[in-house]
Amino acid sequence: MFNLISFCDLSIWHILLSWLVPFLLGLLLGWLIWGIYRKRYLYTLNERDDFKHIAEDFEKQLDACRKKSEEKDNRIDLLRGQVKELEGSAGEKQNLMQDSSGIPASYFNALDSDNLQIIEGIGPKMSEYLHANGINNWETLAGYDEKYIKKLLDKEGTRYRIIDPKSWPDQAKLAADKDWDGLIKFQKTLVTGKQKPGEVTESKVEKILVRLGILKRWKKDDLKAVEGIGPKIEKLLKEAGIETWQKLSESPQNMLKDILDKAGKRYQLADPGTWPQQAKLAAEGKWQDLMALQDSLKGGKKA
């Protein structure tokens, strides 16, 4: 009887131990594994927070860079109008003495006396032909009369027979005398060098200045024709419904200032005081008057 009870007790303990030991070992192993992964998990969370802070710092720096970039862009827009003051000079202050055409006298410094193509009726081929025959500059051309030039052209047979050089000596004399106002006015009454009373055409001198990039020719209702207005400010004005020169010319200064103020501090340097006046001249096609006005401005502001 005793042996049977002892045997039963031993069997129970054996069963308990055979189950309990693996359970305890598994529990210990699970605790160790959980501890390892818990450390990794906490490390990952800390690393994520660190990266989040770094990203926030970068975003702040990026916003600061954007603001600086916008301020610089606006400053460039305001300074763009001052570039004209440097054109036609070698770093010296541009001579603002103007003739009655409204074009600064210094603009014509880019025209050399051997440039016969400023004469209405003379193109590249004709200029080469005259140079080859000893007519190399305005003074020389002004010294010949119509008959001599016509005789010179007739040497080429029928090639130049239809050309009328009647006005060439007069144009050349005005150019040689640097009477640009007189030359421009005279050329506006000519059609390919032939005088045609009652009609007004474009001046050849002005065309060449435009081609050389000295004079600017704007597309209709391009608000950037107004000094002090760059691409960004033009966009602001158009978003506010000011899309034409005429509309800008009718806009009160305080309304324009309000549009700029609402756009942020970076536009506070802009001064719209002369914008309506400039826009009115552009709308009326008074380009010479507009140039004369703009040459007295600095960044769109009255000097």
236 and 280 share a domain? yes
Number of domains in the chain: 2
Residue 198, domain member (yes or no): yes
Phi, psi of 37 (to 5 degrees): -70, -30
Question: How far, CA to CA in Å, does 288 sit from each of 54, 83, 98, 278?
Answer: 57, 18, 10, 11
Q: Domain ends where: 159, 189, 211?
A: 211
Report if residue 46 sits inside a domain: no
Q: What residue type is 199 in one-letter code?
A: E
Classify residue 13: in a domain, yes or no: no
Q: Please name which of 276, 175, 265, 269 lies closest in space to residue 223, comparing C-alpha atoms.
A: 276
54 found inside a domain: no
For the whole prediction, is pTM greater than 0.85?
A: no
Q: Would you write out the chain's pLDDT as a tens digit for each of its 303 residues?
A: 445 445 455 566 566 666 666 767 777 777 777 777 777 777 777 777 777 878 788 788 887 777 777 777 766 756 665 554 444 433 333 333 334 456 777 788 889 999 999 999 898 899 999 999 999 999 999 999 999 999 999 888 888 888 889 999 999 999 999 999 899 888 888 865 555 554 455 688 888 887 777 776 677 888 888 888 888 899 999 999 999 999 999 999 999 999 999 988 888 788 899 999 999 998 887 877 887 787 777 656 666
Instruction: Answer for the pair 162, 126: CB distance below 8 angstroms, yes or no.
Output: no
Taking the C-alpha atoms of residue 117 and residue 95, their distance in angstroms, rounded to an integer, is 25
Same domain (yes/no): 227, 293: yes
Domain finish residue from 179, 195, 211: 211
Instruction: Provide the residue range defining the domain that includes 155.
Output: 105-211
127 and 197: one domain? yes
If asked whether residues 123 and 194 sit together in one domain, one would say: yes
